[in-house]
Structure formats: structure tokens, C-alpha cells
């Protein structure tokens, strides 16, 4: 491998929420870089389509339908991946839900529980299962997904923002725990990313706001556009690689300057 080669032939990457959006973008980039892929997604139909398309491009890919909010399903998913390839080199905790836009007094208990389960508790579940396997094989890399709203807050997505703040705290805590085992863990904090399930979910309920929001992003983001799944994927590929060998416990913002505030 040359000094700047990001390829990792035969390494195994587990990607939750891998059927679409950022997860799919990461799968495409990692597959092209030689990784064997495990896609875990609650949407089995979309997952199968993504897996088949990646396989047609020559990627080795395993689809495992999984609700990451269910600890038993997560354990079974990680065990299935380990049985197939005897190792896990990279874990990307990407699966997430944003929930409905609502004030705190109208936040339903069911919605709160689901958001915390998918966005925060699932990261505990996957790490609990993957860390022992990585430790046994000599190390690995974990990348969690937060959001700039963990720092800025979000007036009407309070549960989502709180869950993502929890992901940041969990990342830092685990970094103190697992670094001695040559396991690196970092966290991405993206801003607005187009083409993701989270944004599409919002616009289903608010179709009239899509064009308006696109125009407002030009004013809100210094780079003048929302991010793309591949923007995130390329950063993830670097953080998973040996080139990032001394990056550990970091919270890396990728938002085109959005968190700087309005221009």
C-alpha cells in the first residue's frame, strides 16, 4: 500500500442504515475501495436493491435485515457478519430517525422512545457486540453519526438533538476505554445532507417547503449547498484508513460551514 492509498482489500465494514442515503453512499465508496460490506437496514426491500446493485459492481456484500433499536437483532446481525468473514474492521453507526417536528409539550412518549432507541441506544448495542470482536482480531475502527444540532440545538427536533448529543458523549467515553486495544472510535457531525432518508421523511409531510429550504440553504451555508452522501463517505473512508491512525475520540464536523451561523 502506498502512503496515500485508501484501499483496504478484504477488510470488513458493517454499515447500519446501509440501504439508502448516507449509508448507501458510504457502502458505494467503501466497496470501491475493496471492503467487504455488511449492510444492516430495517428496510429489507431497499437493502436488497442496494446490495444487488453493489454486487453487480463486483462488491462482496451481505444484507442483514435488522432493526437496530432491538438489541437481540443487533447481536444476531454482528454475529452473522463475524461468522461469514471472521472479523469486523470497521463499524459505521449510521442508522437514524429524526421524528416529527413538534414542540416539547406535543412530543409523544412513543416517538421519544423510538428516537432514543434508534439514534442512541442502538450505538450502545452495536459497540457492545463489535468491540470484543475487534479486540480479539487486534483492533478496528468505529465511526458514529451525530449531527451539528447536538451542539446548536434544534427548536422542534428536541429528541433527535438530545440523542445525537448522547452519541457524542458515548463516543468520547468509549474512546477512553477502547484505545488501548487498538480500536479507534470517532464521530461525524454533519449538517444538512441532501438525498437522505431523514430529509425525505420531513418533506413527505412538508412538500411545500422543499424548494424554499433549498434556497435558504444558499444563505445559511457558506459553501452554498447542502452536503452529499459522498461528501460524508469520502471523509469516513479516510477516518477508517491507516492514514487516520492517530485520530481517536474526535468529533469531526462536515457541514459546509453551516454551523457558523447565517452569513
* Catalytic positions: 160
Contacts of 103 (CB under 8 A, 6+ apart): 156
* Three-state secondary structure readout of 3-57: CCCCCCCCCEEEEECCCCHHHHHHHHHHHHCCCEEEEEECCHHHHHHHHHHHHHC
Q: Which three cell numbers stand for residue 82?
A: 463475524
Q: Please tell me the number of Cα atoms within 13 Å of 26 on its side-chain side.
A: 34
Interstrand relation of 36-41 and 140-145 (parallel, antiparallel or unpaired) = unpaired
> CA 94, 8, 131, 136: dihedral to nearest 10 degrees?
160
Encode 74-132 in three state secondary structure: HHHHHHHHHHHHCCCCEEEECCCCCCCCCCHHHCCHHHHHHHHHHHHHHHHHHHHHHHH
CB-count burial class (<10 Å; 0-12, 13-18, 19+) for 86: exposed
Amino acid at each position: 500500500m502506498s502512503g496515500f492509498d485508501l484501499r483496504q482489500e478484504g477488510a470488513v465494514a458493517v454499515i447500519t442504515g446501509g440501504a439508502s442515503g448516507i449509508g448507501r453512499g458510504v457502502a458505494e465508496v467503501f466497496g470501491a475501495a475493496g471492503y467487504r460490506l455488511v449492510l444492516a437496514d430495517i428496510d429489507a426491500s431497499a437493502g436488497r436493491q442496494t446490495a444487488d446493485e453493489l454486487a453487480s459492481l463486483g462488491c462482496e456484500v451481505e444484507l442483514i435485515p435488522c432493526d437496530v433499536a432491538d438489541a437481540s437483532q443487533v447481536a444476531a446481525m454482528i454475529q452473522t457478519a463475524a461468522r461469514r468473514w471472521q472479523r469486523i474492521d470497521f463499524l459505521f453507526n449510521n442508522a437514524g430517525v429524526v421524528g416529527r417536528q413538534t414542540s416539547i409539550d406535543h412530543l409523544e412518549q412513543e416517538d421519544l422512545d423510538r428516537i432514543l432507541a434508534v439514534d442512541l441506544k442502538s450505538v450502545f448495542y452495536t459497540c457492545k457486540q463489535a468491540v470484543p470482536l475487534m479486540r480479539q482480531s487486534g483492533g478496528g475502527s468505529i465511526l458514529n453519526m451525530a449531527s451539528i444540532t447536538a451542539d446548536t440545538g434544534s427548536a422542534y427536533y428536541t429528541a433527535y438533538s438530545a440523542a445525537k448529543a448522547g452519541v457524542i458523549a458515548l463516543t468520547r467515553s468509549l474512546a477512553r476505554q477502547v484505545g488501548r486495544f487498538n480500536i479507534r472510535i470517532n464521530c461525524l457531525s454533519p449538517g444538512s445532507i441532501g438525498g437522505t432518508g431523514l430529509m425525505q421523511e420531513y418533506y413527505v409531510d412538508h412538500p411545500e417547503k422543499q424548494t424554499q429550504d433549498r434556497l435558504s440553504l444558499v444563505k445559511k451555508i457558506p459553501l452554498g449547498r447542502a452536503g452529499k452522501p459522498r461528501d460524508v463517505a469520502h471523509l469516513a473512508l479516510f477516518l477508517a484508513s491507516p492514514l487516520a491512525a492517530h485520530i481517536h475520540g474526535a468529533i469531526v464536523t462536515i457541514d459546509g460551514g453551516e454551523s457558523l451561523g447565517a452569513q
